[in-house]
Amino acid sequence: MIKIGRINLYKKIKEKIPYGVKQSQNYKDAKKQERLSLEANRKLKESRGMLLEGKKNLFMCLRQNSDINWYRAGQILKHLEIHQRAKPEITSKMREKITDIANFLFFFFFFFLSFFSNYTYTYNS
């Protein structure tokens, strides 16, 4: 019984908001303003040098410098973490696959270029 009480003390209480309120323009504007103020606060801390977490810093740089939305920036960070933990081994089979893709793109590019322009390319092997 005591454990349940302790869990409830640590649990963050979120108030329930009715559907009609969530759909109102005032509520949406307030939420948008809250997000913008959090981002401005984070930028201010970052400019002062108080925010030194690498992950958050990279996340904010992705959002600010490349106009990537927050969801896609999170996916990129997750992808980088996966590759940092377990880098894929490059085997001879993988090298061949990469070479085949590069050759295909090379020939496709010059075919496409010669098709839409007067430029012709001859490949001598």
Question: pLDDT at position 7, please?
Answer: 58
Domain ranges of the chain: 24-87, 88-125
Residue 10 CA from chain centroid, whole number: 31
Residue 8 CA from chain centroid, whole number: 34
Cα–Cα dist 22/28, whole Å: 7
Calculate helix-pair angle for 70-85, 54-66, nearest 10 degrees. Answer: 130
**Segment 32-51, tens digit of pLDDT:** 999 999 888 877 877 776 65
* pLDDT surpassing 70 at residue 1: no
Taking residues 23-39, report their average pLDDT.
Answer: 93
Backbone CA torsion sign across 11, 33, 75, 54? negative
Question: pLDDT at position 113, please?
Answer: 63
Residue 59 CA from chain centroid, whole number: 7
Q: Which residues contact 27 (CB under 8 A, 6 or more apart)?
A: 17, 21
**Segment 50-98, tens digit of pLDDT:** 656 677 777 777 777 777 777 887 888 787 777 666 666 777 887 788 7
29 band by pLDDT with thresholds 50, 70 and 90: very high
**More confident site: 31 or 46:** 31
